[in-house]
Structure 1
């Protein structure tokens, strides 16, 4: 394969990894903000919460632990791990093209 083609797939793989990492970072940031009882009236906290809820829409209410903090850590944490695994896995496949 030509080096031009490989650099294109490398750039695409890098973009995929960066997007997956940003998604996981937002989810992790919301977990930390929740655990530290961040001021929900703050615009940044509200933005992070809304973004995390959107990203973890499929998992944030998946678990029914009695403790709210455990539901947040597991629900949002699961989404973060899945995004990292899928993003890095797809990027690895793209790099091999």
Structure 2
């Protein structure tokens, strides 16, 4: 991925991050459930997506009509397993790519 920005996440089961992305403020709620790692996404204080399943190498936003200025993706550095909270920012890193969604 060229020009991708790494978003630092913690290896905890539930966290909320506020990050500046492309002149916007994004709030990301990332939480582990029995069925996987999920994310709620706010852009400039407005919820745009809720309960999105996070999978390895799968774009999270995907569509420009959500108004997000790019896309987010988790990538497994040791294989191709879906992310699990205990390996966040070590095995699974979260990346932001501006203008990625279509």
Q: Which has the higher contact order (CA 8 A, sep 6+)?
A: 1
Which has the larger Rg? 1
TM-score by length of 1: 0.26
Which is richer in helix?
1
TM-score by length of 2: 0.25
